[in-house]
Each structure stands twice: as structure tokens, then as C-alpha cells.
Chain A
Amino acid sequence: MTRLTLTFLLASSVAASPLMAAPANTVDRQTAEYRKQWHSDILTGYQNLATQGQTLANQAAGYCQAPSPEGFEQTKQAWLEAFLAWQEVRFVDFGPVEQGNRAWQFQFWPDPKNLVARKASYLLKDEAQITPEKVSESGVAVQGFPMAEYLLYDQAFANGEEALPAGRSCKLLVAVTRHIADNGQSLANDWQGFQSNYLGSDQYTDTTIRSAMAGLEILEERRLATPMGLRGNGKRSVYSADAWRSGASLAAMGASVQGIKQSFLPAFSKLLTDRKQSDLAEHIAQQFDEVLANFPEVDRPMAPLLADDNGYKLLQSLYIDLTQLTSLVNDRAAVELGVVRGFNSSDGD
């Protein structure tokens, strides 16, 4: 009996053949169909990011030309909408978003050393002009949503002398939001240009599945379990979450789940169904809805939820639904498809 079990284990683990082990120089037509849909669905997400980024940049420029409390609120709203548009496509970790560390440019996170605040303080005190070039050469902590969020939402900053609409702060906000808008536009363009390579290379099927798996794992582990105190030192801390300044951590999680559902799930369900896994495909689709059913109730700042036991229950409920989704995609479906994300494969050494 033991021997049989071992033989089985051996066969299943050593022989599991990844999807990308396709025959030489032939592009599997069917997997190209999945990629065609993924390419189109992700393009929709990127174009939305480009549009929202543009709106944010225009809004910020308008506000800084003629500051008003309403303009300030509208700029915050534009920031949130562009940030959520980014969350929807944040799981895509391959292709043009890798060029020039674009993903990091959009969102430098985690930031345990609070580089965003340190860099802002340095740039605002510096004598040099704040220009688009200055932003381009100042590193990823300056170039994206967290920097704009700092300027728009940070409480200590809002109470200080440099608070918006102070001149240098406004210049920085305008330059950073312009940088976000330009990045969004070039990402959408480059993704279109990437189409033939993406459709023509079978290994991007695996890559795309892995990117969604990684996106879900980051959601569960780093974006939710860690601030909830379920990992690391066991302490609840909103500062481990992203977007804590704007209180948008949970809204961002909802947008990321929604984005994976919109841009990844359709072709993935088809792939699973074609591989005689239609029950699993349906189960996964239902679990996406289970996770999203936590919203909009849980769509509120995370800090008070962490501080209050009743509030914490909302987070637990979201966490449980998310772990089940992650487990369905990253364990069950991954095993069925032979697509593995591991301790070493996601390491980079």
C-alpha cells in the first residue's frame, strides 16, 4: 500500500507537465484563443487606467491653477478612481508593465521605511525646480499613486505649512499625476504593441495564470492577513496595508478582485471548461462573487475595523472568502493544470 501511494506521488509530481511544455515552434491554437481574450480584457483595463489617469492629471492641474475646497475634493475623488483602475489591472506582472519598473512606478509598496513621506519632504524642501524630469529621476517612491495620496490625504502633511495648495506641493502633485497619466497611456499603447508576441508565445498562458495566482496570494497574505495581524509579529497594523492614508485599502482589494474577475476569469473559465473542469470553473466563479459580496459593506477605512472586534469580524469574513478563492485557484486549479507558483519560483535569485 505504501509503495503504491509513493508511486502515485512520484507520478503526479515528477511527471506533471506544465502547460508551456508545448511542442517546438508550434503555437497551440486553442491556448492562443485564451490569450486573445486575455489580451483584449486586459487592454480594456489598461485603457480605463489611461483614461482615469488623464482625468486625475487634468483635475490636479485645474485645482492647482484655481484652488478651491470643491476642487480639492474632486481631485481626491479623481485620485481614488484612477487608483482603483490601477488596482483592477495590478495583478498583471508581465509584459510591458515590467518595462522600467512601471508597476513599481504606479505603486511603490510595501514602504516600511516610509520613503514616500521622506522623499516628499526632501523634494519640497529642496531648492531645485519640481519638473516632470525631476519626478522621472527621483525613483519609484515619487512617481505614483502613493506620492499623490500623501499630498492629498496625509493628515500631518495637511496640517503643516506645505499643505496643498502651497506652491511647491501643487507643482509636485501636478508633476506626479502627469507622470501617472503618461505611464497609463504608454502602458495601454505598449500592451497593444505586445499583442503579437503575447498571442504567438505559448508560455504566456502559464505566465498569465501565474500572475493571477500571485495577485490573489498577495491579496490574501500581504494586503489582508498581514495588517490583520495573522502573519509576522501577530500585531494588527493598518500601516502594513497599502493606501492607509486615504482609507482605501479595502476598496482597493475589492477593485483588485473585481479586476481579476473581469480581465482574467473569462478566458480562465473557458480554459478550465475545455479541460473538463467545468465544475471547478463554476465553483471559482461563484467564489469570486462570494468575495465580492463582502462589498460594499466592508468598503471603508481599515483602521477602525482593526481597532474594533465587531469591525474585525467583517475583515475575518472577507479573509475567509478570499482564502477559499485563493485555494481554489492556486491549489486546485493549479494542480489540475500543472501550473505551479512556488517558494523558489517566485523568489528571483
Chain B
Amino acid sequence: MTELTRRSLIKSVLAGSAAITLSGCTLLARKAGGQSPQQYTGAIGLPDNRFAVGAIAPDGKMLWQSPVGARCHSGCNRPNTAQVVFFERRPGWAFYVFNSESGDRLHRIEAAEGEHFVGHGVFSPDGRFLYAPANRYEPGEGIIAVYDSQRGYQRANTFELNGIGPHQITMHPDGQTLIVGLGGIRTHPDYDRIKLNLPTMKPALVMMDRLSGEVLARLQPSHHQLSTRHVDVAPEGTVYAGYQYQGPAHELPPLVARYRNGRYEEIDFGETVHRELGNYIASIVAHPENDLVAIASPIGGTALLFNGHSGEIVAKAAIPDCAGVEALAGGDFLVSSGRGKLVRMGKGKPAEEIAGMPVQWDHHLV
């Protein structure tokens, strides 16, 4: 019994402690991008299988932590308001709307019958409509579920993706085009997270008109098992996609694609780097102030920055279980890990750990 008691004691101490290790001189820098609030919100895993959504201020202080019933994955800030939305992790049966200043929970919106969310969403530029990729799981159809925040997050529309397994969504700087990572993998909530169609996957990067739901472009990776999961877009319109390869680990295909001026190209970092990335990219973020793009792989325990135009790697760090990435004002990136670390990375400087917290950051920071 002694060992049991000791373990639970350690766990409860961890759970109760909000202590943050921060070195005095390296406070968090400002987040890049004018619109988003100066805080980072992420889904958190707590000891004993409890979950929360939490926000930290640029000085590294935990601003709030709001408990949720299930593990969340990612979310999005609602433009022009103090609201942040977070989605339950796949299969997500609900999303939560919080006051981003206080952490008060304003809504919990359940998925429609026969659908589940996949962990991501994005707002229209005016902050009214929320676009949430979802899975209509009996037929296995990927859709974008549209919610009207001005009407208490009522369902306003449904757009068909004509494909399987949508994951991340973001808004093109034109304010009209939704960019969707269509992973191509069919799952069903009755079968845990089993991938049901690996031989016949059809992943794609999809561009969709946010008003009509019309699919404007569907760009397919070079191999049908390159699950196109994460996406981002630079202010000038170059779109980036990060893959997760579903084939065997000894095969090392490209993991990043770039779409600009109507051309879809994959960026090959070489086998050594692909191996370090474990064939898996959890986040891809284009910096709004420069031409750098950051990717993070928890499987490989590697995060790196590359030049978006040349594809040249400019910084790389081994960060165990790293997954979340945010752009910082001034040109650097912040990388979060499942071990509670926040690491700052920039061009031409060593990676710098700026905080360690007794929480597990889930994949994304917003």
C-alpha cells in the first residue's frame, strides 16, 4: 500500500500546484497577429484523467483554467470579441465557448445527431459564423458544420466535403475561402480510433467557398496514405499542409506541402529529417511577419522552422512530445509540449525553454 499512497500523494501535489517554473529574464513574448488576444489558450490534460481548457498570459501566468468533461484538442478565437471556442478531441461530441478573459463557460454545444467534431474550427472574419469540420459517422462523410454565434450557436448550414476525415480548418486571408485538411481516414466512434480504410484513403487539401460551400480546389498528395491533417496560410496567401504518413515507418515520404500561385508542391527535407519527424506532423504554422514556417512532431520529438519559399531548414530542436505551435511577435515561434514545456524557437538562435508547467498541453495553442 505504501507505494500506492506515495504515488497518489505525488499526483495530488502535482494537481494542486499551479507553480510555474520561469526563469526571471525570459518572459513570454507577445503573440503575433493583430487580432488575437495577447494570451495563449490550449487544451490541458490534468492528473487522474481530468481535463481543462486553460489560458496563459504573455508573462507566463496561468490566467484561468476551466474544467471540461472530455479531453479537448484545439479551438479558435472569435474575432472582435472576448470569446474562445474549444472542441472536444475526436470523436468530439461537443464544443465549448468560453469568455477568453475570465474563462467562464458561456456555452456547451453538442454535435448534431449522427455527427461528431474532429477538434478544430474557425470563425468568419466578422466573428459571426463558426465553421467546424465534422464527421457524419454512419456513412463516413466529411462535412463543414456552420454555426451562427449571433443566434446562440445554432446550426446555420452544412457543407459537403465529398471526402472522408476532415481535420484542421483555417481561413484564407481573402476572408472568403476556407482551407481544410482532409485526412482521408475513415473512423467510427463505435470502433475507438481504428483507421478503417487505409488501403483506399483519398486525402486532400481542400479550398471551399465559405458562403456557398462550393469546393474550389482539391489538391492530392503524392501518396494516397499521406493523411493531410494540418493546414495554415501565410498573409500573402501561400497555403501549407502538414501530413501524417500512414504507411510503414521505414518509408520516409515528404511531409509538408505548399500551395501558391495555383501550384501544389511537396517540400522534401530529406530522409534524415523525415525520420526525425517520425512521419508525423502535429502542427504547421506560417509566421504572419516573415517567411518562416514551423512544424512540430510529438512522435519524432522534433520541432523545426523552415523558409517557406526555399524549403530550407533554419532551426531544429529535439523537444519531447512537442505538438503545439504559435507565432510570436518579432518573428519567433512558441512550441508547447505534452510535458508542460513552452519552448521559444527562432532563426539563428538556440531553442530556449521559457516555461515548464505541471500540465500536459494538448496539440494546439490558439
Residue of B nearest to A6 (CB): B23
Q: Which of A126-134, A196-204, A273-281 contacts B (4 or more CB under 8 A)?
A: A196-204
Q: Is the interface of B mostly helix, strand, loop or mixed?
A: mixed
Contact pick for B321, options A113, A139, A343, CB 8 Å? A343
Whether A13 lies near B249 (C-beta < 8 A) is: no
**Which residues does chain B contribute within 8 Å of A110, judged by CB atoms?**
192
Q: How many angstroms from the CA of A207 to the CA of B356 in the assembled complex?
A: 27
Q: How many angstroms from the CA of A16 to the CA of B300 in the assembled complex?
A: 12
> What distance in Å separates the Cβ of B160 from its nearest Cβ neighbour in chain A?
23
> What distance in Å separates the Cβ of B210 from its nearest Cβ neighbour in chain A?
24
Contact pick for B119, options A24, A101, A320, A349, CB 8 Å? A349
Asked if A46 is an interface residue, CB under 8 A from chain B, the answer is no
Contact with A along B332-343 (1 / 0, CB 8 A): 000001110101
Whether A203 lies near B323 (C-beta < 8 A) is: no
Contact pick for A344, options B167, B193, B194, B337, CB 8 Å? B337
Q: How many angstroms from the CA of A316 to the CA of B2 in the assembled complex?
A: 11
Asked if B190 is an interface residue, CB under 8 A from chain A, the answer is yes
**Which residues does chain A contribute within 8 Å of B363, judged by CB atoms?**
344, 347, 349
Asked if A95 is an interface residue, CB under 8 A from chain B, the answer is yes
Q: Is the interface of A mostly helix, strand, loop or mixed?
A: loop
**Which residues does chain B contribute within 8 Å of A108, judged by CB atoms?**
191
Contact pick for A349, options B167, B191, B272, B343, CB 8 Å? B167
Contact with B along A9-36 (1 / 0, CB 8 A): 1100111111011111100000000000
Whether B270 lies near A15 (C-beta < 8 A) is: no
Asked if A192 is an interface residue, CB under 8 A from chain B, the answer is no
**Contacts A15-B318, A204-B250, A231-B49 given; does A343 touch B338 at CB 8 Å:** yes
> What distance in Å separates the Cβ of A311 from its nearest Cβ neighbour in chain B?
16
Whether B353 lies near A343 (C-beta < 8 A) is: no
Whether A9 lies near B250 (C-beta < 8 A) is: no
Contact pick for A197, options B48, B250, B275, CB 8 Å? B250
How many residues of chain B have a CB within 8 Å of chain A?
59
> What distance in Å separates the Cβ of A40 from its nearest Cβ neighbour in chain B?
18
Residue of B nearest to A202 (CB): B275
> What distance in Å separates the Cβ of A31 from its nearest Cβ neighbour in chain B?
13
> What distance in Å separates the Cβ of B118 from its nearest Cβ neighbour in chain A?
8
Contact with A along B288-332 (1 / 0, CB 8 A): 000000000011110000000000000001111111000000000
Residue of A nearest to B318 (CB): A17
Give the residue among A18, A23, A344 with the most B Cβ atoms within 10 A. A344
Asked if B89 is an interface residue, CB under 8 A from chain A, the answer is yes
Q: How many angstroms from the CA of A289 to the CA of B11 in the assembled complex?
A: 27
> CB within 8 Å of B: which of A93-119?
94-95, 98, 100-101, 104, 108, 110, 113, 115
Whether B48 lies near A231 (C-beta < 8 A) is: yes
**Which residues does chain A contribute within 8 Å of B323, judged by CB atoms?**
344
Q: How many angstroms from the CA of A221 to the CA of B73 in the assembled complex?
A: 22
Range for the number of chain A residues in contact with chain B: 35 or more
Whether A201 lies near B3 (C-beta < 8 A) is: no
Residue of B nearest to A197 (CB): B250
Q: How many angstroms from the CA of A98 to the CA of B341 in the assembled complex?
A: 32
> CB within 8 Å of B: which of A164-212?
197-198, 200-204, 207
> What distance in Å separates the Cβ of B172 from its nearest Cβ neighbour in chain A?
23
Q: How many angstroms from the CA of A21 to the CA of B363 in the assembled complex?
A: 23
**Contacts A24-B271, A25-B271, A349-B229 given; does A340 touch B167 at CB 8 Å:** no
> CB within 8 Å of A: which of B121-149?
none
> What distance in Å separates the Cβ of B61 from its nearest Cβ neighbour in chain A?
17
> What distance in Å separates the Cβ of B132 from its nearest Cβ neighbour in chain A?
15
Contact pick for B90, options A204, A231, A342, A349, CB 8 Å? A349
Residue of A nearest to B364 (CB): A349
**Which residues does chain B contribute within 8 Å of A319, judged by CB atoms?**
4
> CB within 8 Å of A: which of B217-273?
229, 248-250, 270-272
> CB within 8 Å of B: which of A122-172?
139-141
Q: How many angstroms from the CA of A58 to the CA of B129 in the assembled complex?
A: 61
Whether B282 lies near A344 (C-beta < 8 A) is: yes
Asked if B21 is an interface residue, CB under 8 A from chain A, the answer is yes
Contact pick for A139, options B191, B248, B299, CB 8 Å? B191
Whether B191 lies near A140 (C-beta < 8 A) is: yes
Q: How many angstroms from the CA of A324 to the CA of B2 in the assembled complex?
A: 12
**Which residues does chain A contribute within 8 Å of B343, judged by CB atoms?**
14
**Which residues does chain A contribute within 8 Å of B362, judged by CB atoms?**
343-344, 347
> What distance in Å separates the Cβ of A63 from its nearest Cβ neighbour in chain B?
30
Contact with A along B348-366 (1 / 0, CB 8 A): 0001110010001111000
> What distance in Å separates the Cβ of A292 from its nearest Cβ neighbour in chain B?
18
**Contacts A201-B250, A316-B4 given; does A16 touch B356 at CB 8 Å:** no
**Which residues does chain B contribute within 8 Å of A24, judged by CB atoms?**
270-272
Q: How many angstroms from the CA of A110 to the CA of B189 in the assembled complex?
A: 12
Whether B338 lies near A344 (C-beta < 8 A) is: yes
Whether B319 lies near A13 (C-beta < 8 A) is: yes
Asked if B166 is an interface residue, CB under 8 A from chain A, the answer is no
Q: How many angstroms from the CA of A347 to the CA of B191 in the assembled complex?
A: 15
Asked if B7 is an interface residue, CB under 8 A from chain A, the answer is yes
> CB within 8 Å of A: which of B165-222?
167, 190-196, 198-199
Whether B321 lies near A340 (C-beta < 8 A) is: yes
> What distance in Å separates the Cβ of B26 from its nearest Cβ neighbour in chain A?
9
Whether B338 lies near A342 (C-beta < 8 A) is: yes
Whether A18 lies near B318 (C-beta < 8 A) is: yes
Whether A101 lies near B195 (C-beta < 8 A) is: yes
> CB within 8 Å of B: which of A237-286?
none
List B residues at the A interface (Cβ < 8 Å). 1, 3-4, 7, 21, 23-24, 45, 48-49, 73, 89-90, 119, 167, 190-196, 198-199, 229, 248-250, 270-272, 275-276, 278, 282, 298-301, 317-323, 337-339, 341, 343, 351-353, 356, 360-363
**Interchain residue pairs with CB less than 8 A apart (8):** A13-B320, A197-B248, A201-B250, A203-B275, A344-B298, A344-B363, A349-B119, A349-B167
The 3 A-B pairs at the shortest CB distance, nearest first, are namely A342-B321, A343-B338, A344-B298
Starting from the known contacts A13-B353, A23-B272, A349-B89, 4 additional A-B residue pairs (CB-CB under 8 Å) come to A10-B352, A104-B191, A340-B320, A345-B299
